[in-house]
């Protein structure tokens, strides 16, 4: 029901009480002899006709107002809420490839300005947008959880890389001498390629490629063995990171599809 309905209900009550009051007056007048029976019936029927016409008119006005209000709400939902929120959800869904890169799929703090305006202006606080508000609150909760797991994975990945490479040695191309694992770790301390290799379910080829360098001709143990050790070391935190990223994407897909259904059907979300 729209906000204007209490007004129409009030008018309806006025009409009903008016009818009752006039009937009481007519009965009183008839009992006192002011009106004879024929005049009483004629007056009552005329009043009933007027009240009926008034009620029908009122119902028509109320229905027209209801349709106009719903059309206004649908247009406001679409232009001020649905469109910016849907664009943001599409942006999230386009980040799916980041999961295999150890990347960041979404940050509410860095969302589009249009999306942030929806939140800042309280456009989701009206009752008929309650389901959408709940779904967005959920994706923001999932984003915070994802951030914690992303940090945990990156911290564990850095340690695993350092531990694995610290056990290695490399044969320099020019000097034909071996350098220690500590020097190899220093050379790859901020190597994002190795971390990306650990983020994927199977990033061995990327890891091996990442350890290639014009400085050396050989690394021992075999880079594939070093990868296996580091990959196993981050197994739990990697899966936690990946599952939390998937949860954000799934929620974004749910919101996008819900908006599409609401737009097509004209119903609230």
Q: Where are the domains of the chain?
A: 1-269
> Chain-centre distance of CA 9, in angstroms?
37
pLDDT tens figures, 184-218 = 998 887 789 999 999 998 999 999 999 988 888 89
Stretch 20-29: mean pLDDT: 66
Segment 85-105, tens digit of pLDDT: 999 999 999 999 999 999 999
Q: E strand or H helix at 60, and its extent? A: helix 37-76
Using DSSP, how many helices (H) and how many strands (E) does the chain show? 10, 3
pLDDT of residue 187: 85
For 154-186, the pLDDT digits (tens) are 999 999 999 999 999 999 988 789 999 999 998
CA dist., res. 168 & res. 212, Å (int): 13
Q: Determine how many CB atoms are found less than 10 A away from the CB of residue 97.
A: 9
pLDDT band at 78 (very low <50, low <70, confident <90, very high): confident
Percent of the chain with pLDDT over 90: 57
Please state, in angstroms and as integers, the Cα–Cα distance from residue 99 to each residue in 95, 146, 245, following that order.
8, 11, 7
Using alpha carbons only, what angle is made at residue 243 by residues 241 and 248, rounded to the nearest 5 degrees?
95
Q: Tell which wins on pLDDT, 222 or 8.
A: 222
């Amino acid at each position: 029901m729209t906000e204007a309905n209490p007004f129409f209900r009030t008018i309806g009550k006025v009409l009903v009480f008016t009818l009752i009051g006039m009937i009481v007056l007519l009965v009183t007048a008839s009992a006192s002899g002011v009106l004879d029976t024929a005049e009483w019936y004629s007056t009552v029927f005329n009043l009933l006709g007027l009240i009926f016409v008034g009620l029908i008119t009122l119902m028509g006005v109320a229905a027209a107002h209801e349709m106009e209000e719903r059309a206004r709400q649908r247009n406001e939902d679409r232009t001020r809420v649905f469109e910016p929120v849907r664009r943001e959800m599409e942006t999230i869904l386009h980040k799916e490839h980041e999961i295999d890169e150890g990347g960041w799929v979404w940050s509410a703090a860095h969302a589009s300005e249009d999306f942030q305006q929806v939140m800042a202006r309280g456009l989701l606080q009206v009752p008929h947008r309650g389901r959408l508000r709940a779904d967005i609150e959920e994706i923001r909760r999932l984003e915070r959880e994802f951030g914690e797991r992303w940090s945990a994975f990156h911290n564990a990945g850095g340690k695993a890389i350092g531990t694995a490479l610290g056990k290695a040695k490399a044969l320099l191309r020019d000097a034909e001498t071996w350098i220690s694992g500590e020097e190899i770790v220093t050379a790859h301390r901020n190597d994002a390629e190795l971390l990306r290799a650990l983020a994927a379910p199977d990033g061995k080829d990327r890891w091996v490629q990442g350890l290639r360098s014009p400085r050396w001709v050989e690394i021992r143990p075999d880079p594939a063995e070093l990868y296996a050790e580091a990959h196993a070391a981050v197994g739990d935190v990697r899966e936690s990171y990946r599952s939390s990223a998937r949860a954000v994407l799934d929620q974004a897909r749910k919101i996008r599809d819900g908006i599409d259904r609401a737009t097509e059907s004209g119903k609230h979300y």
